[in-house]
C-alpha cells in the first residue's frame, strides 16, 4: 500500500522490479568497436603519462591544440570560450564557459594525475659494498613487495645551479638502461622470514635501488662506485650531487601498458588509478560545446597522499579558481558554490574472484558492468568521507540512465579497510559531489587492470554530465 486506499500497481515482470547491472557486451555491439578504438588511444596516453608532471604537460598540450587559452582573471569570457589554468606544473584545470551565469553553478569533474610510486630521497646516492645505490621514500599506499625485482624507470626533473629545469626520463626506450630493487633469494629465507606478514616482506627503508656497480676511475685515482655515478650524471646533465637535492625524481615501472586476455578486452598498465578517469575527463572536456553550465575539469596532484600541499585539493586552489571565475565577487561565489555539482572521478576496487572474501558481492563493482557510483568511500563507520545525498544521487542516476550509460554501484565491505578520494574536499566547500569511477583489479600495484568497455563508459558518463545537466 502506498497512499491510503491505493494498491501498488502490479509490475509487469521481474526484470523491472530488480536493479541488476548487465555485462556491457550484452547491451550493444557497437559499443565494443568504439571501446576498442578508445582503448588503443588510452594505452598510448598511459605510456606517455607516468608522472603527474608528464600528465599535466600532456593535458595542457592537448588543450592548447584544441583552442584553450591560458586563463586570465581580468578577461570577460563568453559562452564557448575555453581556458586552462596550470598550477605549478603538477595540477591543471580546464574550463569551457557555458551559457549560464557563474552564479547558477558549474559542473566540476575532479580526477587525480598522481599515482603510487617510489620517490628518490632528498640525498639519494650512496655506495655500499661497492654497489652504487639510491635511497628512496615510497609515495602513496603501496604493497612494497610489488615494487621489487621489476624494471624501474627514472622520471622527473632536476633544477641546476642556473635554475635551468632538466627533464629526466631514463628507462623508457628499448635500448635504455633501467633500475631495480633487489629481493632475498628463497634459499636464504629462514622459517621466521617466511612467516612474516605481507607488510613485512620488505621494509620501506629497504627499498634501495641499484644505480650502478663500477668503480670510479680516472688517470690518477680509483674510487667508490658512487663517484662513478656522479661522473656519469655530470657528463649527461652537467650536474653535481647538490643538484640531486633540487630535484623531483621518481621511479615508476619501466614497462608499457598492454592488452590483457586472448579476447584483448582488458588493459594492463601502471598508473591507471587514476589515469583511466583522467583520460575520460580530458576527452569529454575537450569535446564539450554548447554546454549550459561552465565546466571545471580538475586534474589534481597529491590525491594518493591525502591531497595535502599546494597542488592538492585540500588546498584552496579550486576555491581560488572559482572565485576568479566569479570575478572575486563574494556574493556570486557563494551562489555559485550553492548551485555547483561535482563528479569525483576515481577508480573503484573491482570484484576479484581470487580474493572473493574481501568483497561484499551485493555492493562491489564488477569488470565490464559499467561505471561505479559510490555514495561514500572512507572506512570504519563511514569516517574520512563525504556522502552524496539521496537527492543528488537520484539526479546523477537519472542523467546516466537518460544517456544510456551502463552503471553499477561500489562500496567496500564494512570494516575491511577503505580509503578516501578528493570528494570530501569538494563537499567541504559546500558543493554537491558524488564519487564515480572505473572498476579496477590490482589497484596500486605496478600493473593495474581495467576493462576497455568500462573505460569507454567513463568517458560517456562524464560527457553526459558536462553536456546535458539541467541545473
Ligand atoms: Mn585514485
Ligand atoms: Mn589510489
Q: State in Å: Cα 368 to ligand 2 middle.
A: 20
Q: Where are the beta strands (DSSP E) in 391-447?
A: 407-409, 432-437, 439-440
In contact, 88 and 211? CB cutoff 8 Å: no
Pair 259, 266: CB distance under 8 Å: yes
| d(C-alpha 363, C-alpha 438), whole Å | 15
Q: Residue 303 Cα, ligand 1 centroid: separation in angstroms?
A: 7
User: Homologous superfamily of 2-115+270-467 in CATH?
Assistant: Zn peptidases (3.40.630.10)
Quick check: bond before 274 cis, omega within 30?
A: yes
Where do we find the cell 563574494?
330
At 1 the pLDDT is 43
Task: Note residues around ion ligand 1 (Cβ under 5 angstroms).
Answer: 273-274, 346
* Centre of ligand 2 from the C-alpha of residue 162, in Å: 36
Domain 117-253: which CATH number of 3.90.1640.10, 3.30.70.2190, 2.30.250.10, 2.40.30.10: 2.30.250.10
> What confidence tens digit (pLDDT) does each residue in 54-90 have?
999 999 999 999 999 999 999 999 999 999 999 999 9
- Give the percent of the chain with pLDDT over 90: 86
Contact partners, residue 218, CB within 8 Å, separation at least 6? none
User: Where, residue-wise, is CATH 2.30.250.10 in the chain?
Assistant: 117-253
Task: Tell me the per-residue pLDDT of 228-247, one tens digit each, with 9 for 90 and over.
Answer: 999 999 999 999 999 999 99
Per-residue model confidence (pLDDT) at position 9:
62
For residues 316 and 1, the model is more confident at 316
Better-scored residue on pLDDT, 213 or 186: 213
- pLDDT band at 471; cut points 50, 70, 90: very low
Question: In which element (H, E) is residue 165 found?
Answer: strand 165-170
pLDDT recorded at residue 95: 98
Tell me the CA–centroid distance for residue 44 and ligand 1, in Å: 20
User: Rounded to the nearest whole angstrom, what is the distance from the C-alpha of residue 208 to the centroid of ligand 2?
Assistant: 23
Query: Across the strands, what pairs with 168?
Result: 156
Q: Which ligand is nearest to the CA of 422?
A: 1
Copy the grid coordinates of residue 232: 656519469
CA of 50 from ligand 2 middle (Å) equals: 14
Mean pLDDT of 435-450: 98
Please name the residues in contact with 397: beta carbons below 8 A apart, sequence gap of 6 or more. 373, 407
CA of 239 to the centre of ligand 1 (A): 35
pTM here? Answer: 0.95
**Segment 185-189 mean pLDDT:** 86
Q: How far away, in angstroms, is 347 Cα from ligand 1 center? A: 5
Rounded to the nearest angstrom, the distance between the alpha carbon of 304 and the centre of ligand 2 is 5
Distance CA 160, CA 239 (A): 7
Query: Is the per-residue pLDDT at 220 higher than 50?
Result: yes
How far does residue 209's CA lie from ligand 1's centre (Å)? 26
SS3 for 218?
coil
Q: Give the DSSP letter of residue 200.
A: G
What is the average per-residue pLDDT within 427-442?
98
- 102-158 per-position pLDDT tens digit: 999 999 999 999 999 999 999 999 999 999 999 999 999 999 999 999 999 999 999
Query: Above 90 in pLDDT, residue 347?
Result: yes
- Residues facing 433 on adjacent strands: 342
From the CA of 344, how far away is ligand 1's center (Å)? 10
Q: Specify whether the CB–CB gap between 155 and 51 falls below 8 A.
A: yes
CA-based nearest residue to 412, from 387, 377, 448: 377
CA of 115 to the centre of ligand 2 (A): 6
Q: How far is the CA of 349 from the centre of ligand 1 (A)?
A: 10
Return the closest-CA partner of residue 331 out of 101, 131, 31, 114. 101
For residues 424-450, give the mean pLDDT.
98
The residues of the chain that CATH labels 3.40.630.10 are: 2-115+270-467
From CA 140, how far away is CA 135, in angstroms rounded? 17
Return the C-alpha cell found at 346: 576515481
pLDDT at position 42 is 98
DSSP-based three-state secondary structure for 36:
helix
> Distance from CA of residue 269 to its chain's centroid?
13
Rounded Cα gap, residues 407 and 394, in angstroms = 13
Amino acid at each position: 500500500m502506498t497512499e491510503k486506499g491505493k494498491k501498488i500497481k502490479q509490475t509487469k515482470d521481474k526484470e523491472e522490479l530488480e536493479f541488476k547491472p548487465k555485462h556491457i557486451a550484452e547491451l550493444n555491439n557497437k559499443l565494443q568497436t568504439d571501446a576498442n578504438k578508445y582503448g588503443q588511444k588510452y594505452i598510448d596516453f598511459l605510456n606517455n603519462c607516468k608522472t603527474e608532471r608528464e600528465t599535466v604537460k600532456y593535458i595542457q598540450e592537448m588543450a592548447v591544440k584544441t583552442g584553450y587559452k591560458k586563463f586570465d582573471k581580468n578577461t570577460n569570457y563568453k559562452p564557448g570560450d575555453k581556458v586552462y589554468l596550470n598550477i605549478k606544473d603538477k595540477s591543471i584545470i580546464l574550463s569551457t564557459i557555458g551559457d549560464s551565469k557563474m552564479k547558477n553553478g558549474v559542473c566540476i569533474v575532479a580526477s587525480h594525475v598522481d599515482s603510487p610510486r617510489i620517490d628518490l630521497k632528498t640525498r639519494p646516492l650512496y655506495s655500499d659494498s661497492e654497489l652504487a645505490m639510491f635511497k628512496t621514500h615510497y609515495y602513496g599506499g603501496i604493497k612494497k613487495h610489488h615494487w621489487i625485482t621489476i624494471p624501474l624507470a627514472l622520471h622527473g626533473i632536476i633544477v641546476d645551479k642556473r635554475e635551468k629545469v632538466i627533464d629526466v626520463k631514463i628507462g623508457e626506450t628499448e635500448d635504455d638502461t633501467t633500475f631495480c630493487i633487489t629481493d632475498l633469494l628463497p634459499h636464504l629465507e629462514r622459517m621466521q622470514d617466511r612467516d612474516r606478514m605481507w607488510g613485512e616482506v620488505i621494509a620501506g627503508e629497504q627499498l634501495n635501488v641499484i644505480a650502478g656497480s663500477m668503480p670510479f676511475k680516472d688517470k690518477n685515482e680509483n674510487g667508490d662506485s658512487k663517484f662513478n655515478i656522479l661522473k656519469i650524471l655530470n657528463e649527461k646533465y652537467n650536474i653535481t650531487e647538490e643538484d640531486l637535492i633540487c630535484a623531483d625524481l621518481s621511479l615508476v615501472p619501466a614497462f608499457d601498458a598492454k592488452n590483457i586476455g586472448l579476447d584483448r578486452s582488458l588493459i594492463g598498465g601502471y598508473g591507471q588509478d587514476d589515469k583511466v578517469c583522467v583520460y575520460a575527463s580530458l576527452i569529454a572536456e575537450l569535446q564539450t560545446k554548447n554546454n549550459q553550465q561552465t565546466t571545471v575539469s580538475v586534474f589534481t596532484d597529491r590525491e594518493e597522499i591525502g591531497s595535502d600541499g599546494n597542488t592538492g585539493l585540500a588546498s584552496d586552489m579550486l576555491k581560488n579558481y572559482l572565485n576568479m571565475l566569479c570575478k572575486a565577487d563574494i556574493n556570486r561565489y557563494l551562489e555559485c558554490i550553492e548551485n555547483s555539482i561535482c563528479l569525483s572521478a576515481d577508480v573503484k576496487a573491482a570484484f576479484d574472484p581470487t580474493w572473493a572474501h574481501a568483497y561484499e558481492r551485493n555492493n562491489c563493482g564488477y569488470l565490464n558492468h559499467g561505471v561505479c557510483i559510490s555514495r561514500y568511500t572512507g572506512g570504519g563507520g563511514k569516517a574520512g568521507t563525504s556522502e552524496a545525498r539521496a537527492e543528488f544521487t537520484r539526479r546523477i542516476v537519472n542523467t546516466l540512465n537518460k544517456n544510456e550509460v551502463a552503471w553499477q554501484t561500489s562500496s567496500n565491505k564494512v570494516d575491511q579497510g577503505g580509503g578516501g578520494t578528493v570528494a570530501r574536499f569538494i563537499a567541504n566547500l559546500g558543493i554537491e559531489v558524488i564519487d564515480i569511477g572505473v572498476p579496477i583489479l590490482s589497484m596500486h600495484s605496478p600493473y593495474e587492470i581495467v576493462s576497455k568497455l568500462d573505460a569507454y563508459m567513463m568517458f560517456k558518463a562524464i560527457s553526459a554530465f558536462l553536456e546535458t545537466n539541467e541545473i
